[in-house]
Amino acid sequence: MIVNSAVYVEGTRATDVDLESVSDQLCLPGRFVWLGLNDPDEATMKKLQKQFNLHELAIEDAHRAHQRAKIETYGDTLFIVLRTVQMKKKRVELGETHFFLGSNFLITIRHHSSTSYAGVRARCESSPHLLKKGPAFALYAVMDFIVDEYFPVIHELEMEVASIEESIFREKLRRDTTFKIYKLKRQILDVKRSVSPLIDICNRLMRFDLKVIDEDTKPYFRDVYDHAVRINENVDNARELLSTALEANLSMITITQSEVGKRFAGWAAIIGVATMVAGIYGMNFKFMPELEWRYGYFVVIGGTAAVCLYMYYKFKKAGWL
């Protein structure tokens, strides 16, 4: 459950530390602790609360997960929740990462399908001149990684939207096209719910007077803010395109039904002529002069066929058949 736990001095990794002895390291000046956990159990969370003196409500939220993206202040500690996204087998999978940020510690808690942050930690350790800014810079690095993970997901969703648009106008209309549109629309809505709060979170991190965020670190969160705005705009564009695709699909279905209705109407009119003639001569009246005429049968059949052919020609020219 404890993925990584280290003490950093002047941006350099000094030593690893156990959860039971973290409080001893926090008392020493000029260093901070970066602790990473993955789906911790209740006992681990209680130890975490004790060692870092965290608020019980924040610990409860971090343990239960299924939280909306948010930022909250508990004394001198920031509690931040971010939603993570991944694309697996053409489906969006959501996860969560919870942060506890203090003046000398950063705790990251991953839940569900969240990607490992080992690469982020390695990149930060390779730049000690930046990491020495403190745990706030480590928070920025992880947040920047989370936000950047949205871009490939949005790209795949946009490709799916383009594929659906092409199938609407080029392929034969199928019932499952509407189902695909609604399924994709729901995935885009999940991404929208995840990314929208990011803008407010970044605004608070770089604009509000937060003691745990130094003035030198605040500009870095502007970069995360810009990425969040871009992602939010891309999601809105994808939603608008998908709504347009749904309307186009319904319009194409209506047009197709209208075309089918016109064909039925045309053939019904043609068949109606023959039916009418057959009905007239099937009334069984005793005196019908045409019945005694030698060429009556051929004239009626020929006339009926001529009228039907003429109607077929007119309907075909009008685009009904």
* DSSP for 264-302, written as a single string: HHHHHHHHHHHHHHHHHTTS--S--HHHH-TTHHHHHHH
pLDDT value of residue 100:
92
36-50, 86-100, 199-213, range with the lowest pLDDT: 199-213
Which one, of 83, 71, 247, 91, lies nearest residue 156 by Cα? Answer: 91
- List, in sequence order, every beta strand (DSSP E) within 1-118: 2-9, 12-16, 31-38, 70-74, 77-88, 91-102, 105-112
On the question of pLDDT at 43 being above 90, the answer is no
Residue partners of 11: CB distance under 8 A and separation at least 6: 127, 128, 129, 130, 131, 132, 133
pLDDT at 293 over 90: no
Q: What is the mean pLDDT of residues 312-319?
A: 81
CB 154, CB 231: distance < 8 Å: yes
Using DSSP's 3-state secondary structure scheme, residue 38 falls into: strand
Helices (H) then strands (E): counts for the chain: 11, 7
| C-alpha span between 62 and 60 (Å, rounded) | 5
The phi-psi region of residue 230 (left if phi > 0; otherwise alpha if psi is between -120 and 50; otherwise beta) is alpha
Looking at residues 284-308, what average pLDDT do you find? Answer: 79
Q: Which CATH architecture has domain 255-318?
A: Up-down Bundle (1.20)
**pTM greater than 0.75:** yes
Q: What is the rounded average pLDDT of the residues 227-253?
A: 84
Sequence-separated (6 or more) residues with CB below 8 Å from residue 114: 38, 84, 95, 96, 97
Which residues, other chains included, contact 215 with Cβ-Cβ below 8 Å and sequence gap of 6+? none
CA angle 108, 114, 120 (to 5 degrees): 60
Say if CB 49 and CB 66 are below 8 A apart. Answer: no
Provide the pLDDT confidence category of residue 317 given band limits of 50, 70 and 90: confident
* pLDDT recorded at residue 175: 66
- The ranges assigned to domains in the chain are 1-131, 255-318
CATH fold, domain 1-131, is Beta Polymerase; domain 2 (3.30.460)
Whole-angstrom Cα distance, residue 241 to residue 232? Answer: 14
Gap between the Cα atoms of 78 and 280, Å rounded:
91
78: pLDDT strictly greater than 70? yes
CB 78 within 8 A of CB 177: no
**Residue 142: is its pLDDT beyond 90?**
yes
Most confident of 121-130, 198-207, 270-279, 286-295: 121-130
Residue at 114: amino acid letter: S
Q: Which of the two residues, 120 and 169, has the higher pLDDT score?
A: 120
Percent of the chain with pLDDT over 90: 10
One fold for 1-131 and 255-318: no
Q: What mean pLDDT is predicted for residues 249-275? A: 80
Sequence-distant contacts of 47-54: CB under 8 A, at least 24 apart: 47/19, 47/20, 48/19, 48/107, 51/19, 51/20, 51/22, 51/23, 51/26, 52/22, 52/23, 52/26, 52/77, 52/100, 52/102, 52/105, 52/107, 54/100
Confidence of residue 114 (pLDDT cuts 50, 70, 90): low
d(CA 6, CA 117): 14
Q: Are 204 and 210 in contact (CB under 8 A)?
A: yes
Nearest to 116, CA basis, from 146, 82, 156:
146
Mean pLDDT of the chain: 84
Mean pLDDT of 119-128: 90
Q: Higher model confidence: residue 150 or residue 215? A: 150
